[in-house]
């Protein structure tokens, strides 16, 4: 009985330590989530303005047909997948990668029909183990990423599309809905055919182009596509922190429940041990009398 009580007490201490860790991780994730939300919101006006300018150029100038705005028959598809470097975030990575494998399995009959760019150690390791064709990878993205952190992989993905090495480029990432809900999504990044004709209703801004509308598009279309990758990364970061906060909150609650059950079990064992000792004392006293 004494050994059993020591074991229960050891397990209680273990769960108490675990609870302290998961609570601290929950608080860190909550703080990072707030920063990620602010960063994502701050990037939206820039992206929206670029989209407005591109739509104005594309619709206001006759005869412009930039390759990044034209849909073509899809013979090969590129996927830019955004995951996290660390785990302990619930189903954040698992749900996204499961959906990606299902999409690839349904859409492609051969690995020659697609190519993958991956951000995040979890996605890289998962896809490498299954021998999927990874063109480029980036890991070690900080909790508050900057545009420069993803610029090389975004530039290469956009350039390969522009060079015709694949005919479609899709973003695969977790869309942030709220702190407890994140949704794996696939969105077409290139071609940007839907940008044409999307000027806002009402008063429209008039732009003068120097040296020409064609050269302006040539400069800003790749940058706009790269900015969309960066915006998706910010959404993914917010989703990661929201998922981790939820997972650590559940782990903290579960640890608390286990501590309560083990404490009750310990008290019962202790009470049984005391009762047994009293019974032995009374029995010894009766024997002496």
Residue 34 lies in a domain: yes
Choose between 46 and 81: higher pLDDT: 81
The pLDDT value recorded for residue 54 is 77
pLDDT of residue 247: 93
CA–CA gap between residue 138 and residue 147 (Å, rounded): 13
Categorize the per-residue pLDDT at 279 as very low, low, confident or very high, splitting at 50, 70 and 90: confident
User: Distance between CA atoms of 58 and 2, rounded to whole angstroms?
Assistant: 81
> pLDDT digit string (tens) for 16-45?
999 999 999 999 999 999 999 888 888 888
Alpha-carbon Rg of the chain, whole angstroms? 28
The answer to whether the CB of 122 falls within 8 A of the CB of 85 is: yes
Q: How many domains does the chain have?
A: 1
* In-domain check, residue 15: no
Residue 112 is part of which domain span?
A: 27-246
Return the H-helix or E-strand segment holding 134: strand 134-138
Domain harbouring 199, CATH code: 3.40.1380.10
The answer to the question of residue 263 being in a domain is no
Residue 235: inside a domain, yes or no?
Answer: yes
Structural contact between residues 272 and 1, judged by C-beta atoms closer than 8 angstroms:
yes
11 occurs within a structural domain: no
Orientation of helix 213-288 relative to helix 147-162, angle to 10°: 130
Nearest to 173 by CA among 91, 87, 97, 89: 97
User: Does residue 225 belong to any structural domain of this protein?
Assistant: yes
For residue 261, tell me if it sits in a domain: no
User: Whole-structure pTM over 0.75, yes or no?
Assistant: yes
Strand partners, 88: none
Q: What percent of the chain has pLDDT over 70?
A: 90
List phi, psi (to 5°) of 118. Answer: -130, 135
Q: Decide the pairing of beta strands 181-190 and 168-178.
A: antiparallel
Rounded distance, CA 251 to CA 270, Å? 28
User: Across the strands, what pairs with 197?
Assistant: none
Give the whole-angstrom CA distance, residue 142 versus residue 129: 24
Does residue 72 fall inside a structural domain? yes
Give the pLDDT confidence of 191-245 residue by residue, as tens digits.
886 665 555 454 556 667 677 777 777 888 888 889 999 999 999 999 999 999 9
Instruction: Give the pLDDT confidence score for residue 62 in this predicted structure.
Output: 56
Which of 93, 97, 99, 126 has the alpha carbon at shortest distance from 244? 93
Distance CA 190, CA 77 (A): 10
198 three-state secondary structure: coil
Q: Interhelix angle for 92-107 vs 213-288, to 10°?
A: 130
Distance (Å, rounded) from C-alpha 13 to C-alpha 9?
Answer: 6
CA distance 138 to 29: 22
Mean pLDDT of the chain: 86
């Amino acid at each position: 009985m004494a050994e059993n009580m020591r074991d229960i007490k050891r397990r209680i201490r273990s769960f108490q330590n675990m609870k302290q860790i998961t609570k601290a991780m929950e608080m860190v994730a909550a703080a990072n989530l707030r920063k990620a939300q602010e960063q994502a919101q701050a990037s939206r006006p820039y992206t929206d303005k670029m989209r407005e300018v591109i739509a104005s150029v594309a619709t206001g100038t006759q005869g412009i047909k930039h390759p990044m705005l034209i849909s073509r028959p899809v013979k090969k598809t590129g996927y830019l997948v955004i995951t996290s470097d660390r785990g302990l975030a619930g189903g954040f990575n698992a749900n996204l990668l499961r959906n990606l494998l299902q999409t690839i399995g349904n859409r492609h009959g051969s690995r020659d029909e697609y190519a993958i760019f991956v951000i995040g150690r979890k996605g890289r390791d998962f896809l490498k183990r299954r021998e999927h064709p990874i063109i480029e990878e980036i890991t070690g993205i900080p909790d508050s990423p900057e545009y420069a952190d993803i610029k090389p992989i975004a530039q290469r993905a956009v350039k390969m599309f522009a060079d015709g090495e694949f005919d479609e480029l899709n973003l695969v990432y977790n869309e942030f809905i709220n702190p407890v809900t994140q949704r794996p999504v696939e969105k077409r990044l290139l071609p940007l055919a839907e940008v044409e004709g999307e000027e806002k209703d009402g008063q429209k801004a008039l732009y003068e182009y120097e040296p020409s509308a064609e050269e302006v598009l040539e400069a800003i279309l790749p940058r706009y596509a790269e900015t969309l990758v960066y915006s998706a990364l910010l959404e993914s970061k917010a989703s990661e922190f929201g998922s981790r906060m939820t997972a650590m909150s559940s782990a903290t609650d579960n640890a608390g429940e286990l501590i309560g059950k083990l404490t009750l079990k310990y008290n019962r064992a202790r009470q049984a041990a005391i009762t047994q000792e009293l019974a032995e004392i009374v029995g010894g006293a009766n024997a002496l009398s």
